[in-house]
Structure 1
Amino acid sequence: MKRKYIIIGVAVFVVLTLLVALQCKAKRMPVVVDLELKLDQPDPALKPFDSTLVAPFFEKHKELNDYKEDVMLVYRNHKFNYLWHDSKGRKETAEVLYSRINSISAEGIFQEVPYKLEFDALLAESLATDLTKELMLTSLYFFYTDKVLAGIDQKKREEMGWFLERESSSYVSYLDTLLANPGLVNIETQLNKQYYLLKNALKKYQDIAGLGGWDSIPLPENFKSLKPRDSSELILAIRKRLFITGDLKEDSGSSVFDESLSKGISVFQQRHGFIVDQAIGKKTIGAMNVSVADRIKTIMINMERCRWISPNVSKEKEYIVVNIPAYKLTYIKNDSIALQSDVVVGTTINQTVIFSGKMKYIVFSPYWNIPQSIIKKEVIPGIQKNSNYLANHNMEWNKGLVRQKPGVRNSLGLVKFLFPNSNNIYLHDTPSKSLFQRESRAFSHGCIRVAKPKELAQAILANDPKWNSEKIDWAMNKGSETWYTIKNEIPVYIGYFTAWMDRNGNLNFYNDVYNRDGQLVSFLTKKQ
């Protein structure tokens, strides 16, 4: 008996090692698995089925044709033995998959399960072995992993302007692991943890929808705003609305704008990326009037984006995340927030690219090497109008190009942070500090301006004995460019999320600054 457990333990280790090795392979690549490593051995009392019967199944079920190749592969690997049945009938793994398929709406999937009525009818029948039932289970397993775990393929993501890459997985191999241990399907490790946080938020908003959602708050024609200590019948509706989403802990039924309502409004405004002014204006009420159905759709859209991120991101020792719609930079160290800073991102014409890189350098008192596009559109016309244009803007010619000299007037400010990339995007300081006071901060040519550049440099160099606050301040203001190579490269992720769960457990909604949500929902809801 002891020897048996040792053999099983070794087999588990080898299977898991094989699975990890396959993680970086393409999702559709042909993976032939060594069946001798599998714990889930075929029942000798149940004969393999005729492989020629697979094609007729897909002829009848054309909506599942995308998975035909994977279905054939997995059965070839298993020598066309049944996966979901044995001589006693349906296995536990089939029941686990059926349960997952039936709860797929909780995963934020827009598409309906193909042949759902037939699937339900097949599984409602006896537990006896049936080839149609067998092939349906395997096909819907691949539908589930495709929609819930993989999401839209990398090529389509890039067409939508998303260049953050995630390692592809072989869900053929993953199936073998689940067949050996059905409990693994419930382990939340396949996706980034933000996905599971949004999944919980989706459940909350689906429950709200089930109770009727919330009513729209009508505004009088002459409405301007409500402020603390004001009294209005509108406040009754506002209290009710805030209580439904938990921004207000209790609904007192008072029509007076009191301290408790002020706190609730502050929470709501902060969650929606507004300046927290504790006044109830048209914009705040407009956000309250977005229907629960639309909020659910936004959560689902962003759950899809979470499928495009490696689950290993949050396991990094340190990393920097910029969320474009939130206009926010977050620097994580050892799973704690080391720094948060407001940022300015690219305009709708010069959109900041969604990608990742490794921060390698900090440049103090930087030159700004002006891109050719800006030279042509702005600098040359400026020189033509004013011969002193370069001097007035602290610029000079340098090897046929134009650069701006270091100093407080430099457009990059006093420091920049480089993570070399083909998009020529980086983080930097700015002399235009007033822009950080605005709610909407899409003003740059594509690079990311940081409200707390010195604090970011201090956080990055906190454990570097060569630097302290005084030396950083000196380097930023000395007027001559200095490059410093960071000891440990820091991953930088620039993303685009219009719904996001923060570390305080609050669900935040942000303005779709580049109008990308509509494009994504159109793709996700069309017939695939």
Structure 2
Amino acid sequence: MTMKPSLCSASAVCILAALLSVVGCRNHRETQYAKNLQQLVAKKTLAPEKVNTSQVPNLRWPNFSDYAPAVQAFYENRGYAVAWTQDGVPTAAAKGFIDAFQHADAKGLISGDYDASRWVLREKQLTGKPADAISLFDVAMTVNVMRFVSDLHIGRVNPSHFSFAIPVEEKKYNLAKWVEDKAVNATDVPELIASVEPDSDEYRQTEAALVRYQALAKQQETDDAKPLPMVKAGVSKGDPYPAAKELLARLQLEGDVAADSDDQPRHFDATLSAGVKHYQERHGMVADGELGPATIRSLNVPISRRVAQLEDSLERWRWLPEPYLHPRLMVNLPEFMLRGYAADGKLDFTMRVVDGHAKTKDDDHSTPVFVRMMRYLIFRPYWNVPVDIAKKELVPHIEQNPEYLGTKDFEATNHKGVVQTAYTAKDVAQGRVYVRQRPGPKNSLGLVKFMFPNQYDVYMHSTPETYLFQRMRRDYSHGCVRVQKADDLAAWVLNGQGDWDLDKVQDAMNEGPDNHTVVLKTPLPVVIFYLTARVDESGEVDFFDDVYKYDADLEGVLAKGPPYPVKPEPIVSKTKEGDTL
């Protein structure tokens, strides 16, 4: 329930308390303040005290300390002139933004964060042109316009708060100038708002999908659909299933079965099996058309949860600066998929990947979210084993067999890379000597790695463990991204750079010199991303498990409301010797 703000009677008193800080009325100051304010309003200007603050108490989120400098600068630059009313009436631009605030949910934001329900009362309070109401309306509008525009342009939470390396700072507007130049006298607010959002077809498709799924969530809530009953084993085509009609309705809800189907199944028939298979394909599951426990659990996830996933995806799309908004290579971690795009932005290929193992009680090898430029490739690389991995996985074998490293194509070196023949397991465990794996088909990095230098020491590489690509969930690495067809990827990356083709790439991988670096003439933008909901190339809306709990982390921060963290958590940099695997 919206609480009506209390107003002090008599003249325009309590204004200082209402707009500067929540303190009691001080009569000996209010009278003079009210007179000064009335004089300023008569000149259509605001008192400096009105905006020299980080709190306006009747906002949904009254603490706008993160925007206070911009609000102050905005009013200073315009000589404290009223921005959003004329003769006590909201301007066309103000009305346009109020309408936008009320529809913020359609963009994956929360309309209440921009006081959507409070503007009707604020507008009513302008009747008679009271000084306090005009001032409050103006400052509240400025704060909310800044919040709304910034949230749409760069997202609500700085990704570095999660130790993600995405430089949103370079995208930031000078909000005081932007609002003055673009917003105050805007004649087409929807067009203006569209201009601040990511100029990306995938972003716009995700936004459209969100609107559709919001409607589906309301429909599901209205229908009061019950969860589908669980089964102990998979239900195959032709088998009985007591909730066949309910399953049909659930599959029709998202379009996995045509909505006009008049089938009234009494068992798990061909229509249901085909619908289940289509659903499984959209959710990164084994698409066998059987109704098993995992599929039922997924079908029983409320549509409102899918709405949240789409909202999380929109938030992350807003983080991306150019040129990463249209990268040449993008890995979607929860999908375990790499996509390569031509220079014109069209999809060239998709490729399965293996990424970092999800965090457990004992360790965390989750692949981070970040953007970087791919600058070079290394054919037939050494794997420099990190000390912690050597200690955990190699030292026990060395203790049993001092010749173990040599039998597995490893060798010990000093810090200059000179091979050592006299060493002990203790030397390896304490990092007095380093371990590296010699190049070749058994090397854990495979025969080529793709380098985009970053503080995590994460990169793409081939792998001898090709059987992992046949699995649906593929989080098995120590943080790096293993690619399914490394030779094809290398040929694609080097296309147009001299005489590199697939044959030459394969020669370099199998017979070329060890640790051979090839520098790219034109670096390629790479995005290591995290979308548990995305619209695929065929227009289908796909959903994936939150394998790293990055969605949960984001939603936990957003649930607290603004102001969001302004001091990001430090980005974790790799400090130990060796290559992440």
TM-score by shorter chain over 0.5: yes
Distance 2:467 2:559 in 1: 41
Equivalent in the alignment of 2:355: 345
Give CA-to-partner distance per residue, 1:192-216, whole Å, 9 cap, x none: 5344322222211111122234724
Distance 2:534 2:295 in 1: 19
Residue correspondence of structure 1 range 47-62 to structure 2 within 5 A:
47-54=44-51, 58=55, 60-61=57-58
Q: 1:433 to 1:56 in 2, by over 3 A?
A: closer
Equivalent in the alignment of 2:218: 210
Q: CA deviation at 1:443?
A: 0.9
Distance 2:494 2:447 in 1: 16
Question: Given the alignment, which residue of 199, 205, 208 partners 1:197?
Answer: 205
Distance 2:267 2:533 in 1: 31
Distance 1:258 1:455 in 2: 41
Amino acid paired to 2:534 = W
Distance 1:338 1:114 in 2: 41
Residue correspondence of structure 1 range 253-268 to structure 2 within 5 A:
253-268=264-279
Equivalent in the alignment of 1:17: none
Residue 379 in structure 1 maps to residue 394 in structure 2: yes
Q: CA deviation at 1:479?
A: 5.8
Question: Given the alignment, which residue of 470, 475, 482 partners 1:442?
Answer: 475
Paired residues, what number?
A: 480
Distance 1:211 1:452 in 2: 43
Moved more, 281-290 or 362-371: 362-371
Instruction: Classify the secondary structure of the residue corresponding to 1:446.
Output: coil
Instruction: Classify the secondary structure of the residue corresponding to 1:261.
Output: helix
Q: CA deviation at 1:60?
A: 4.1
Equivalent in the alignment of 2:312: 301
Larger radius of gyration: 2
Residue 179 in structure 1 maps to residue 179 in structure 2: no
Distance 1:450 1:216 in 2: 41
Equivalent in the alignment of 2:303: 292
Equivalent in the alignment of 2:557: 523
Q: CA deviation at 1:450?
A: 0.6
Q: CA deviation at 1:519?
A: 2.2
TM-score if structure 1 supplies the norm length?
A: 0.84
Question: Given the alignment, which residue of 139, 152, 176 partners 2:156?
Answer: 152
Q: CA deviation at 1:52?
A: 3.3
Give CA-to-partner distance per residue, 1:101-154, whole Å, 9 cap, x none: 111222222473365554221225668763322222112212322443333343
Q: 1:132 to 1:217 in 2, by over 3 A?
A: closer
**Contact 1:361 1:486 (8 Å CA) reproduced:** yes
Residue 275 in structure 1 maps to residue 281 in structure 2: no
Unaligned runs of 5+ residues in structure 2 are: 1-41, 418-432, 563-581
Unaligned runs of 5+ residues in structure 1 are: 1-44
Instruction: Classify the secondary structure of the residue corresponding to 1:52.
Output: helix
Q: CA deviation at 1:407?
A: 1.6
Q: 1:204 to 1:115 in 2, by over 3 A?
A: closer
Equivalent in the alignment of 1:327: 336
Distance 1:417 1:70 in 2: 42
**Contact 1:226 1:280 (8 Å CA) reproduced:** yes
Residue correspondence of structure 1 range 61-76 to structure 2 within 5 A:
61=58, 63-66=62-65, 67-76=67-76
Distance 1:48 1:159 in 2: 39
Give CA-to-partner distance per residue, 1:218-259, whole Å, 9 cap, x none: 335x63112234343333222211110112223322345444
Instruction: Classify the secondary structure of the residue corresponding to 2:319.
Output: coil
Moved more, 486-495 or 250-259: 250-259
Equivalent in the alignment of 1:101: 101
Structure 1 vs Structure 2 CA RMSD? 2.6
Residue correspondence of structure 1 range 33-44 to structure 2 within 5 A:
none
Equivalent in the alignment of 1:134: 138
Equivalent in the alignment of 2:9: none
Distance 2:496 2:264 in 1: 53
Q: CA deviation at 1:325?
A: 0.9
Instruction: Classify the secondary structure of the residue corresponding to 2:113.
Output: coil
Give CA-to-partner distance per residue, 1:164-216, whole Å, 9 cap, x none: 22222222222121234342424244325344322222211111122234724
Give CA-to-partner distance per residue, 1:427-467, whole Å, 9 cap, x none: 01111111111122111111111111111112212323411
Distance 1:249 1:491 in 2: 40
Q: CA deviation at 1:291?
A: 0.8
Distance 2:556 2:340 in 1: 33
Q: 1:458 to 1:256 in 2, by over 3 A?
A: farther
Distance 1:489 1:439 in 2: 31
Question: Given the alignment, which residue of 515, 540, 545 partners 1:506?
Answer: 540
Equivalent in the alignment of 1:16: none
Q: CA deviation at 1:84?
A: 1.6
Distance 2:279 2:150 in 1: 35
Residue correspondence of structure 1 range 476-495 to structure 2 within 5 A:
476-478=509-511, 480-481=513-514, 482-495=516-529
Q: 1:58 to 1:265 in 2, by over 3 A?
A: same
Moved more, 335-344 or 176-185: 176-185
Distance 1:501 1:463 in 2: 31
Give CA-to-partner distance per residue, 1:288-320, whole Å, 9 cap, x none: 00012222222222222222222653445xx11
Amino acid paired to 2:503 = E
**Contact 2:152 2:197 (8 Å CA) reproduced:** no
**Contact 1:324 1:345 (8 Å CA) reproduced:** yes
Residue 403 in structure 1 maps to residue 439 in structure 2: no
Percent identical pairs in the alignment equals 27
Give CA-to-partner distance per residue, 1:385-412, whole Å, 9 cap, x none: 2223212211122334222122211111
Distance 1:108 1:521 in 2: 12
Distance 1:256 1:188 in 2: 51
Q: CA deviation at 1:59?
A: 5.5
Amino acid paired to 2:165 = F
